[in-house]
Structure 1
Amino acid sequence: MTTSVDVLVSICVIFAMSFVPASFVIFLIQERVSKAKHLQFISGVKPVIYWLANFVWDMCNYIVPATLVIIIFICFQQKSYVSSSNLPVLALLLFLYGWSITPLMYPASFVFKIPSTAYVVLTSMNLFIGINGSVATFVLELFTNNQKLNNINDILKSVFLIFPHFCLGRGLIDMVKNQAMADALERFGENRFVSPLSWDLVGRNLFAMAVEGVVFFLITVLIQYRFFIKPRPVYAKLPPVNDEDEDVTRERQRIISGGGQSDILEIKELTKIYRMKRKPAVDRICVGIPPGERILNPQCLEPEAKLWYPPRFGTDMLWWYYIKCFGLLGVNGAGKSSTFKMLTGDTDVTGGEAFLKGNSILSNIQEVHQNMGYCPQFDAVNELLTGREHLEFFALLRGVPEKEVCKVGEWAIRKLGLVKYGEKYAGNYSGGNRRKLSTAIALIGGPPVVFLDEPTTGMDPKARRFLWNCALSVIKEGRSVVLTSHSMEECEALCTRMAIMVNGRFRCLGSVQHLKNRFGDGYTIVVRIAGANPDLKPVEEFFGHAFPGSVLKEKHRNMLQYQLPSSPSSLSRIFSILSQNKKRLHIEDYSVSQTTLDQVFVNFAKDQSDDDHTKDLSLHKNQTVVDIAILNSFLQDEKVKESCV
């Protein structure tokens, strides 16, 4: 009866110790899903160091409940566990169980996306393997007369040694049986006590767990390095590249012929095909991004690369900046974030290659990380750290001298306008402040290339403008910036060169003005007629004769909006005709504007095959309306009106 109770106690220990190691993956999954782990790798943390630090910290946490278990046994003086011979074995069993089970839980952090689900599944697996394996082999030992069952039991006890749960449970049961047998035979004057550390008793369980801890840790590190994932050749499956725009084709030929070796970022035939997907997410894109420069003579600039800064953007008005900011546009599912994930090493490359400052993303990813800053699409922040702690932590990872860490953190806080929130926990930040913090982290260390994946998503217009000025000041320092965005206004304000991505491929490439000239629908003319209720028919007849091919887009009480093709009409002719007939048609005022970048984008994005593109297009069409509505609601305040006047 005493032996049965002690065996039940062993099962209870297995039950209790199944919950502790399963909890270690919760934070790991949160870091992986939020990209905080990937951001640490980009900042200089090596995968071995990352997992070793997690293992040491988890073992420190595991020792606390393991010590409490030992103290409880000592308090109740269970001889089967706390005798002079059994207590060291109990301590070894509990310690080596944590040593082996902790790294066994780590691979689950690569599979699950929801921490609570992982915790429940891992706990259930620990309970099932530990309790069922130990009890099953113990019950089979009761059939001493059946040699066949005994042979099966010996095989199971050897096979189950690969599970730390079984090693712990079976080790406790064997230790209890050994003590009970010795106590029973001691009454007859015989000393049959066997050392629990012997190989046939608990020794092999201890040895198995000691080896498993090292093996499971190595497996985790190999998974992190994608040792078990082999890239698949895809070029034989993909159709040849046809029907490309001439600008995209010209850039492809330049990159393939070796003309992009002087670029700070060279992307050559980069391809990504996800598993269980027929179409590639990124389809053999080629582009080169030159390094940023700061020069005095504007005559040295290429015509399409000029970007003239008004005085409000900087105090040094004598300088002209040759700015390198590349924008990547596309609706959801176009392949923008997949491109960034490959360039930053977050996902494996299916085909092609990319070089950042001469270092390959396939063979020298750590050198690539040293030359880049990255703001992911979703904020990779730890909710339990303050903004200042985030910046100082990543400054240390970037190799900033310890004496300068506080200064760098203060600089980043002031740079991104987080002075009021620097000492608050990031979990309490608004969406806009989180984006600012993510951008500040990307700028730490002064990387020559900064990747910004939709940096202003969720920001109000004021915060968005502030972040634009921040990005402009960074670009002026000579760094190259690559950003993705859904805001056409943002691309016009920041980008000197941009590409619109549809179904994983570049549909057009060039400066903002170049794209408007080539792919725009012409000009938009807005005419307002004088009078309360004017007759608009003469104006409509005039436009039909004077501007063939014009299309009436909107018509209000005294306002007409026409769309003109750019080929037959020039700006000088449009202004000349309107000026000559202004008095005759009672035109109060008129305006002529070129096709917006939004319209160019929408025309290309219609071909996107993703299911969410319709929703995305409506967002672009209504963006200006939303901004105006926000401004109108803001101006309703009487104090604001008085201040504006």
Structure 2
Amino acid sequence: MNGSAIAAQGLRKAYKDKVVLDGIDLNVRTGTIFALLGPNGAGKTTTVNVLSTLLTPDAGTALVAGHDIATQTKAVRAAIGVTGQFAAVDELLTGEENLLMMADLLHLPKRDGRRVTAQLLERFDLVEAAGKRAVSYSGGMRRKLDLAMTLVGAPRIIFLDEPTTGLDPRSRRTMWEIIRELVAEGTTIFLTTQYLEEADQLADRIAVLDQGRVVAEGTADELKRRIPGSHIRLRFADRRALDVAAQVLRGATRDDDELALRVPGDGGVRSLRALLDRLDAQSIEVEELSVHTPDLDDVFLALTGHGNKEVSAR
């Protein structure tokens, strides 16, 4: 597919009689953030492992960076970086030594390895801690070092498996900013996360995986509009305007104290335009308009039967 960093069709994976992936299709556009959500056991980590060539699928095909995961594994691995759920740093080495070690593993010339290491230490605000052993790092610093190690090889596609698990809110938001910067530079991010807010904040598109199948896909707003409960809130300047609007918009819920009407609707551009046209036809002026949609937790509950704010990314 043109413009696709990852294109998968019919991926299947089973362990004996346990089907983990049941024919999933995915299309991740270049330079975007794609989030994969799902309850425990849905198959998210298996999906990452298959796409990063750590597991061989039983059926289906996938191209990653234009390379077939089955027949061009070396080319796929050269184009990607993978950051797992737990920081894969050597705690006995310093932050700088971890990065230099990764440069050596990637066979970078010594000069290039030192240059890239210095740049990444600066970028991730680890210069002061560069000479300290990683065992002394905080959780947020370890995650930053782990991601920095992934970037040594300048991958075009990065798989992030729960990149902010266990981080405090400040460290989590720092990671979000780093992820956004990477995408702004053209990197593609494939993200699994246990935080629905994280997917809502970061992802250009989200796929919900349940029992090995993709049960929904779209932008966060598109997914929210699929769930009943969306409405448009209209507030008016005075009681007269409210009375007239209530007559025009029969079926709306009225709030006399707030001089407001709650009108069922998906909040899409077409429905909003139709609603305002009806009010304009009666010369009714709206003081304030807001669109209210269910959050991703509501979406997750409706699609999978699991409504926790945090869900496992395995």
TM-score range, shorter chain: 0.7 to 0.9
Q: CA deviation at 1:408?
A: 1.1
Q: Secondary structure at the match of 1:281?
A: strand
Q: Which amino acid aligns with 1:364?
A: Q
Contact 1:523–1:595 (CA under 8 A) maintained in structure 2: no
Mapping 1:248-287, distance limit 5 Å = 260=1, 263-275=4-16, 277-278=17-18, 280-287=19-26
Q: Tell me how far apart the structure 2 counterparts of residues 472 and 443 of structure 1 sit (CA, whole Å).
A: 14
Question: Do the aligned partners of residues 590 and 480 (structure 1) sit closer, same or farther apart at CA in structure 2, a change above 3 Å counting?
Answer: closer
Aligned: 1:291 with 2:36: no
Count, aligned residues: 299
| 1:347 and 2:50 are equivalent in the alignment | no
Is the counterpart of residue 548 in structure 1 residue 256 in structure 2?
Answer: no
2:201 aligns with one of 493, 496, 500: 493
Ranges of 4+ aligned residues in structure 1 off by more than 6 Å? 542-545, 558-563, 579-583
Name the SS for the 2:309 alignment partner: helix
Question: Which one of 280, 299, 302 corresponds to residue 600 of structure 1?
Answer: 299
Correspondence for 2:34: 326
Which whole-Å deviations, capped at 9, do the CAs of 1:574-628 have from their partners, x for residues lacking one? 8969x96999xxxxx885433333322332121xxxxxx4xxx32359xxxxxxx
Look up the match of 1:618. Answer: 308
Larger radius of gyration: 1
Q: Quick check: 1:525–1:562 contact (8 Å CA) kept in 2?
A: yes
Q: Are 1:522 and 2:225 an aligned pair?
A: no
Secondary structure of the corresponding residue to residue 618 of structure 1: coil
- Per-residue deviation, 1:424: 2.4
Q: Which has the higher helix share?
A: 1
State the match for 1:478 in structure 2: 186
| Shift in CA distance, 411/562, structure 1 to aligned 2, threshold 3 Å | farther
Which stretches in structure 2 are left out of the alignment for 5+ residues?
236-241
- 1:531-576: CA deviations, max 9, x gaps? xxxxxxxx9xx98995627599xxxxx8899975316995464896
Partner SS for 2:22: strand
Is the 2:225–2:266 Cα contact (8 Å) retained in structure 1? no
The aligned residue for residue 365 of structure 1 is 73
Task: Say whether the 8 Å CA contact 1:416–1:467 is kept in structure 2.
Answer: no
Alignment map for 1:65-464 (pairs within 5 Å): 260=1, 263-275=4-16, 277-278=17-18, 280-292=19-31, 324-464=32-172
C-alpha contact (below 8 Å) 1:524/1:595 kept by paired residues: no
- The structure-2 alpha-carbon separation of the partners of 1:568 and 1:344, relative to structure 1 and needing over 3 Å to count, comes to closer
Rounded Cα–Cα distance in structure 2 between residues aligned with 1:567 and 1:592: 8
1:520–1:596: 8 Å Cα contact kept in structure 2?
A: no
Residues 363 and 620 (structure 1), Cα distance of their counterparts in 2 relative to 1, 3 Å cut: same
Q: Deviations over 1:313-335 (max 9, x none)?
A: xxxxxxxxxxx222212222221
- When normalised by structure 2's length, the TM-score is 0.79
Match of 1:75 in 2: none
Q: Which amino acid aligns with 1:407?
A: R
Give secondary structure in 2 for the equivalent of 1:446: coil
The TM-score normalised by the length of structure 1 is: 0.41
Q: How far apart are 1:461 and its partner, in Å?
A: 2.3
- Cα distance in structure 1, aligned partners of 2:129 and 2:259: 49
The verdict on how the C-alpha distance between 1:571 and 1:448 changes in structure 2, with shifts beyond 3 A counting, is same
SS in 2 for 1:464: helix
1:451 Cα shift? 0.8
Residue from 255, 260, 264 that aligns with 1:565: 264
Distance between the aligned counterparts of 1:430 and 1:526, measured in 2?
A: 47
- Which residues of structure 1 form unaligned runs of 5+? 1-259, 293-323, 528-538, 553-557, 584-588, 607-612, 622-645
The code of the aligned residue for 1:288 comes to N
Q: Cα deviation per residue 1:384-416 (whole Å; 9 max; x = unaligned)?
A: 122221111112222322112122112222222
Q: Cα 1:576–1:454, aligned 2, differ >3 Å: closer, same or farther?
A: farther
> Equivalent residue of 2:4, what SS?
coil
**In structure 2, distance between residues paired with 1:568 and 1:462:** 32
Give 1 or 2: higher strand fraction.
2
Structure 1's 494 and 580: CA in aligned 2 closer, same or farther, altered over 3 A? same
Residue of structure 2 equivalent to 1:503: 211
Helix, strand or coil at the partner of 1:466: helix
Distance 2:134 2:267 in 1: 56
Distance 1:545-1:475 versus aligned 2 partners, 3 A rule: same
**Counterpart Cα distance in 1 of 2:225 and 2:27:** 22
Deviation by residue 1:411-441 (Cα, 9 ceiling, x = unmatched): 2222222234322222232222222222212
Deviation at 1:339, TM superposition (A): 0.4
Separation (CA, whole Å) in 2 of partners of 1:434 and 1:591: 41
In structure 2, C-alpha distance between the alignment counterparts of 1:476 and 1:568, rounded to whole Å: 29
**Greater relative CO (CA pairs within 8 A, separation 6+):** 2
Give the direction of change, closer, same or farther, for the CA distance of 1:619–1:399 in structure 2 (3 Å limit): same
